[in-house]
Chain A
Amino acid sequence: MIEMQDIWKTYPNGTHALKGVSVKIDRNEFVYLVGPSGAGKSTFMKLIYREEVPTKGQISVNGFNIGKLKPRKIPYVRRNIGVIFQDFRLLPKLTAYENVAFALEVIEAPKKVIKKRTLEVLELVGLKNKANRDPSQLSGGEQQRVAIARAIVNNPSVIIADEPTGNLDPETSWGIMQLLDEINFRGTTIVMATHNRDIVNTMRKRVIAIEHGNIVRDQLRGDYGYEF
């Protein structure tokens, strides 16, 4: 599903973000990415959705050699990867419904399909009754649910989540985690970077710890491991 072989990433300013990372994530896995800020977690994920290209090494997602992908093909690979961020990244001038429908308009789905599928996922994330609100009229947790709905509306095989609960209070965070767990249960691989020890220690999954650009720990049903 996702496979990295000796991945190096050096940014133009000389920062060595990743130094020879090799990892294999199978279909339907749920992986926590932990480690201090600046350890390379974000780079790790950016490589998966082809925001960045590795300086060295091979990375394949869904069988595509992502590093060698022609720019023209990038959009088509991204349609199979849902991305969720700490700051939600919704289009502020579109309603919740339009934000979700947007991901389907992009792939030129028929109108009927767009409507049916959008309402379906909004119901799944529990926001069907707030479909016509603007993001500014929604709480943080609700906005993140819209973002999740947008990420899954295309039925992607992978979801990349960069600190999805980073801006939310603990209670709301649990709601989001339950949602992600359910999505994972339905067959979507999830890679999630987090600093939330409670979540990692309670909802036990595979834990990959990155420090100074290297994987220092890779543990099934692992714990957060950092004491601070």
Chain B
Amino acid sequence: MNFNTLLRHIREGAKNVFRNGWMSVASITSIVVSLFILGVFLLLVLNVNSFADDADSQVQISTYLGSNVDKAMREKVQAEIGAMEEVSKVTLIPKAEGLKDFKEKLGEEGKDLLEGYDETTNPIPDTLKVEVVEPTTVPYVASKIKALNEKYPDQPIYKVNYGQGTTEKLFKITRAVRNIGFAFVAGLGLMAMFLISNTIRVTILARRREIGIMKLVGATNMFIRWPFFVEGALIGFVGSAVTVGALFFGYSQLVESVKADITLAFHLIPVSEIGFQLAVLIVGLGLLIGIWGSTMSIRKFLKV
């Protein structure tokens, strides 16, 4: 194929988009609708993911030390836990602070309950708050910390607490949300492809005669296919560009309004963080759907 022919195909493909007028509008609209829904779901999944990641990273291991543990022992244990490769941070919460936190947590109603406890009679032990790099390793790290008791004869670890069960449940929910989200997105993608191939099939049906004439004057199949290929790509591109524009506008509005409302406990991923990947993904999908749709629907008209 020479350069002139390539230009011709591009020109013809572009012309066809306009010649088919409303059919093109219908194709573009169906791409916009499907990709937009897909984009909304993608944003939802991404945000749920990031929210779950945030929640994951908040999972801590509370290590309560025995009341017999002295300062030297405490520092030894703290250093030992800090040296574990799964652990990212170990913070000491002295018993006095622990009591204060506990009082705050109980609030007004629990005030009476803790009446009479002061520095000397404090029932709360020293606590080491352990954070890990990978949330899924929490149970493993907890058991490792517990095992420290075997190393030291005076059993410095009183109790290890990491919300057993709660963590596992959280992981399960996160995974479920991700899977359902991705399944939904995949389903919508297929639906979009079906819609587009159908729309283009209608335009090709209308052009059956045209294709017949092309073949009659000796056009090769490739020659006939090219303009349709370009047309599909153009429709896909325009549709996805409109979608990206709409998604960006809507999403950034949403991010702004969420940011303004400080009572909400979560934040949305800013556009600057996911915008590029999202745009590339949607435009890529749009092109793929458009090209796939046009190639598939022209196939059977090229036989004979």
Contact = CB atoms under 8 A, between A and B. Distances in A.
Interface stretch (A27-35, A75-83, A211-219): A75-83
Given A93-B19, A111-B4, A106 B218 contact: yes
A102 B5 CA distance: 12
A95 B19 CA distance: 14
A110 interface: yes
Contacts of A93: 19
Contact of A105 (B8, B212, B213, B220): B8
A53 to B, nearest CB: 10
Given A78-B218, A79-B218, A93-B19, A106 B213 contact: no
B215 A108 contact: no
A106 B4 contact: no
Contacts of B105: none
Interface in A44-70: 49, 51
Interface residues of B, number: 20
Contacts of A107: 218
A9 interface: no
A78 B4 contact: no
B201 to A, nearest CB: 19
Contacts of B214: 102, 106
Interface SS of chain B: helix, strand, loop or mixed?
helix
Interface string B182-222: 00000000000000000000000000011011111111110
Given A89-B209, A91-B210, A106-B214, A75 B219 contact: yes
Interface string B169-190: 0000000000000000000000
A125 interface: no
A76 B219 CA distance: 8
A143 interface: no
B262 interface: no
Given A91-B210, A91-B213, A111-B4, A106 B219 contact: yes
Nearest to B5: A108
Contacts of B251: none
B302 to A, nearest CB: 10
A43 interface: no
Nearest to B220: A75
Given A108-B5, A110-B4, A111-B4, A78 B213 contact: no
B2 A78 contact: no
A103 interface: yes
Given A75-B215, A83-B216, A106 B223 contact: yes
A115 B210 CA distance: 22
B1 interface: yes
A111 B11 CA distance: 14
Interface in A104-147: 105-108, 110-111
A103 B218 contact: yes
A78 B214 CA distance: 11
Given A89-B209, A91-B210, A105 B216 contact: no
Nearest to B303: A71
A91 B217 CA distance: 12
Contacts of A51: 304
Most chain-A CB neighbours within 10 Å: which of B209, B212, B217, B223? B217
Nearest to B2: A108
Interface of B: 1-2, 4-5, 8, 19, 209-210, 212-221, 223, 304
Nearest first, the 6 A-B pairs at minimum CB distance are A79-B218, A78-B218, A103-B217, A106-B219, A75-B218, A75-B220
Given A75-B221, A106-B219, 5 more contacts: A75-B223, A83-B216, A89-B212, A91-B210, A93-B19
16 contacts: A49-B216, A75-B218, A75-B219, A75-B220, A75-B223, A76-B218, A78-B215, A89-B209, A89-B212, A89-B216, A91-B213, A106-B217, A106-B218, A108-B2, A110-B4, A154-B218
